[in-house]
């Protein structure tokens, strides 16, 4: 059991670490888009796509960087009491609180799957049935959802990124749970 947990932890941590390091450079892409937006609005005709592209880039940066932040412990935490606790007590508290995080991420992921299914033209079937239908060939992409702005980009790509990010966050939260369980099962030194 502990060997499987260790393999899971190493795999998920490596994927999220690598992705988090790569996504950090997305901030420069967003800055370039916003710089172009400023230049085009000042000296040229304003570009329709810049604001929405910057919003999409920020969302991808935020949601794909989330698992990396969880892994590094860079999330917000109340250290008023926590900082003075023993490692064992921290592990117990983390085991309990990460269960709330896993539940919350599961609810968010289900909602994101529904929103992504909607953006792919599914207006009737539950999202899990819709995506399972792709495996059997029963589901089809319908009328694709577009943004109501003047640029009108398709929304399924960014919604798919949100699903990917939430899935990776959920897997990272499970990895953190396994780390705490392993910390608790170690013999005290």
Residue 11: φ, ψ to 5°: -65, -50
Residue 29: φ, ψ to 5°: -65, -45
Sign of the four-CA dihedral 20, 168, 163, 75: negative
**Distance from C-alpha of 115 to C-alpha of 130, rounded to nearest angstrom:** 12
One DSSP character per residue, 147-177 reads -SSSS--BSHHHHHHHHHHHHHHHHHHHHHH
pLDDT of residue 14: 96
pLDDT of residue 187: 54
pLDDT of residue 188: 55
Contact 169, 70 (CB under 8 A): yes
Expressed as residue numbers, the domain containing 45 is 2-185
The count of structural domains within the chain is: 1
Q: With a cut of 70, which residues of the chain have pLDDT below it?
A: 187-189
pLDDT of residue 138: 79
């Amino acid at each position: 059991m502990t060997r499987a947990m260790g393999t899971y932890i190493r795999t998920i941590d490596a994927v999220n670490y690598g992705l988090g390091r790569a996504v950090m450079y997305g901030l420069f892409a967003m800055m370039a888009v916003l710089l172009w937006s400023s230049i085009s609005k000042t000296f040229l005709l304003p570009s329709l796509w810049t604001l929405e592209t910057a919003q999409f880039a920020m969302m991808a940066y935020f949601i794909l960087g989330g698992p990396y932040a969880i892994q590094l412990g860079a999330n917000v935490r109340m250290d008023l009491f926590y900082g003075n606790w023993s490692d064992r007590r921290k592990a117990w508290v983390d085991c309990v609180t990460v269960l709330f995080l896993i539940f919350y991420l599961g609810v968010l992921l289900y909602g994101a799957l529904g929103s992504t299914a909607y953006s792919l033209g599914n207006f009737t079937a539950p999202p899990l049935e819709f995506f399972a239908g792709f495996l059997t060939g029963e589901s089809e992409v319908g009328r694709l959802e577009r943004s109501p702005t003047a640029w009108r980009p398709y929304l399924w790509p960014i919604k798919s990124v949100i699903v990917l990010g939430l899935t990776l966050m959920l897997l990272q939260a499970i990895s953190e749970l396994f780390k705490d369980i392993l910390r608790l099962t170690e013999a005290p030194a």
